[in-house]
Structure 1
């Protein structure tokens, strides 16, 4: 995309050369022969990028850089240095310069560096806008008073300010990416880009190019060089979603790069060094994948510095009324839907439904009711058939599953927990203590079922 670029150098030949290179790439180029002139031009209209010589008459390049960083902290600045100025150029990088180009100028180096700076700036702006849009969204997604949500919030607050890598596990629809974005937004890297990669959505033959970039002509269809996600996330966070779907071949390469933070483009020889924080997520049981030979154990422990589990909605049923209210408020405000309410009886049915699609399914359900329901209030009789069908059908005069009504329960949540515990005890006896057969029979993941049994103090043999 064409950009507005300011070239600052007291040598006319250098300015002329850079103007030619950059205009051939389609950019709008402005020139300044001194630091004072450069700052005036920046005040008149901020550029998208500045190429700044270190040695200038009057105000030198480092002073100009300091001023630009204070006025426009997000403006990328590339320093131009002579052979004897490398140490000064490195000092400029520490002051916040994006990169430096060494004289004599190389056409390839100039174009590569400029494209990288502009691409980074675009991602940074998009990331900032996304954080603003998602700021309240993230809080709403974690709406709830359940112990599970409170614990998750606490762990996010603890790990976010650190540099620790995070492995997020949880079922589809629970909000793993939202948790990752909350960690990034609350970290010291929050002003840098967060780049997300869905490892399950990229074809195996393209994932290396997607992650590491490629050189022109590296493979059929590679008509131009391209940066990979690791480069784009340099200084920020790389979010590897659905990491459990990555092939063993790619896992091996990822492990080496995660350890060294160095790699080469596909078809390239130049070693590229990056600084990224990695957050990974999966809906799979990675220990089971390791036992089955589908996931590398060393990669698992490299990623699992700080594990986080996002609870399924069925573990936080008491949050369902709050989430519904939240979705209703948001959708009526942003999409112009009319006001709608759910009766207490309808909410009780919804709290008992297992929500296999989790929070995502609940949000879609609320939106569907806003579209289809013509009244002002939703009762049990208005709920979809699949939700009503999930209610256990008690025998005449008997409670569901022929279980005794809890006598010690003081509220709906406690009653449900007592029912669950007794149901699991009986079903476990029915399957002669086999947790795997029980999990398959009642449609629960084995790891989740183990946690439930442990919470209720039920021995598994």
Structure 2
């Protein structure tokens, strides 16, 4: 039952049915307003805010489709459930095309009505939440992030929420997704924004120096310590300490980091003095932290101490048209930097960018666009200017002239073999040995198609009728597995 009453507009000209429907809805916790004409329905929609509308298509003064059209044209924020005695497929299709969320045929059971209306209200609430988030980030630029995809709007909202807390935040995501940008955004949105933001990459510092980098050292603490040094934790006092690639930290140092998080104090290497510091810790990794814990490479108690407020950054391939928005920003920036006149992309170039799987994420996209700007001239970046790296190595493909299926020899014994054409071209054959696994056959056919298409993912996608991103991931996986 809804915790707060959601408003439902019931448009039904049959009085007896309206009484029953209204009673069902109100018993289930909804606030229900009933009208019996199309004119009254339009007036009610103009006067009040409803999460759902239960609409009879056959009204005395209007067709329900006309009301659906009005809702769509005026962009009225309400989810419509159609209820009618006409159960034809055409009526249902017309209603859904006009914007109806669901279609119920009379006589309708109580459970069906209530469940459908509840789902409609939840859908409308979700739309309202997304609209609010879109309004908050309408310019598509959020503290260094670019994009308006729903998944990124959710990340922006999460950043705003966690920024108000002092609790540690654990950022996960593939390399190049912007984990440091995320950490800086958290800092900038927090009450600590005016204080230092100190970033430390745990993978880039030698094991025997990282303790000193984090906690500092005193003169003579070790060979080469010619003076006192303030560590990153003390330097970030009052602000935020960002520990990138946290899973690369030595297991022995993890114990000292845990003590630091629990006590809020630091002790320099070679010193007996314990100093209090006030820092908010944000960490990140491109690995699976659960697997690192299971493999014994990361302390479980430290993981739970850090993994208080998790944020996962989606890979670029899951961000829809954000790819083009980010690429456009890069084009304008690099064109100005290089003194070029590029201002955008051709349609073919945009298609190529959208089809690519971007295993290197935003960092890879940045490099690709910079390469195109530096090495070319023009007003528009076209398809040929976008270089997405060398084609993956193909698995061996046996080419042979057209032949009928027949027996073939095999080290394991006599098995049948068939030859199949690639993209209808009988001059490009793939010899498929029967008796092999489906995964092996799939690899042969897909990689042969890549070879035939010159390594082009979009072309191979058209030939095989498979998603470009799926093909790209398969090719990367198979290439990585090759000896």
User: TM-score higher than 0.5 here?
Assistant: yes
Equivalence for 2:50: none
Equivalence for 1:327: 330
Q: Considering only CA atoms, is the larger Rg found in Structure 1 or Structure 2?
A: 2
Distance 2:271 2:192 in 1: 29
Q: 2:172 aligns with which of 141, 151, 169?
A: 169
CA distances 1:228-255 after superposition (whole Å, capped 9, x unpaired): 1111111111000110100101111101
Distance 2:390 2:365 in 1: 11
Does the aligned pair in 1 maintain the 2:170–2:306 contact within 8 Å?
A: yes
| Shift in CA distance, 230/324, structure 1 to aligned 2, threshold 3 Å | same
Deviation at 1:382, TM superposition (A): 3.3
CA distances 1:325-346 after superposition (whole Å, capped 9, x unpaired): 1111222344533224321111
Q: TM-score, normalised by structure 2?
A: 0.53
Q: Report matched runs for 1:345-356 at 5 Å.
A: 345-356=348-359
Does the aligned pair in 2 maintain the 1:199–1:246 contact within 8 Å?
A: yes
Does the aligned pair in 2 maintain the 1:340–1:370 contact within 8 Å?
A: no
Equivalence for 2:115: none
Q: CA RMSD in A?
A: 3.4
Q: TM-score, normalised by structure 1?
A: 0.56
Equivalence for 1:396: 423
Deviation at 1:213, TM superposition (A): 1.0
Distance 2:191 2:147 in 1: 27
Distance 1:162 1:286 in 2: 22
Equivalence for 1:181: 184
Q: Report matched runs for 1:389-428 at 5 Å.
A: 395-396=422-423, 419-420=466-467
Q: 1:336 aligns with which of 330, 336, 339?
A: 339
Distance 2:143 2:218 in 1: 43
Does the aligned pair in 1 maintain the 2:392–2:479 contact within 8 Å?
A: no
Structure 2 residue 293 is the aligned partner of structure 1 residue 290: yes
Equivalence for 1:254: 257
Distance 2:268 2:140 in 1: 36
| Shift in CA distance, 382/367, structure 1 to aligned 2, threshold 3 Å | closer
Equivalence for 1:234: 237
Distance 1:140 1:263 in 2: 31
Secondary structure at the aligned position of 1:307 is classed as strand
Structure 2 residue 291 is the aligned partner of structure 1 residue 264: no
Secondary structure at the aligned position of 2:319 is classed as helix
Distance 2:469 2:387 in 1: 28
Deviation at 1:226, TM superposition (A): 1.2
Equivalence for 1:85: none
Deviation at 1:388, TM superposition (A): 7.3
Q: Which runs of 5+ in 2 are unaligned?
A: 1-138, 394-420, 426-444, 448-457
CA distances 1:340-376 after superposition (whole Å, capped 9, x unpaired): 4321111111111111111011111111111111233
CA distances 1:271-313 after superposition (whole Å, capped 9, x unpaired): 1111110000111111111111111111111111110011111
Structure 2 residue 374 is the aligned partner of structure 1 residue 371: yes
Secondary structure at the aligned position of 1:386 is classed as coil
Equivalence for 1:219: 222
Q: Which runs of 5+ in 1 are unaligned?
A: 1-135, 403-411, 428-436, 445-461
- Please identify which structure carries the higher helix content: 1
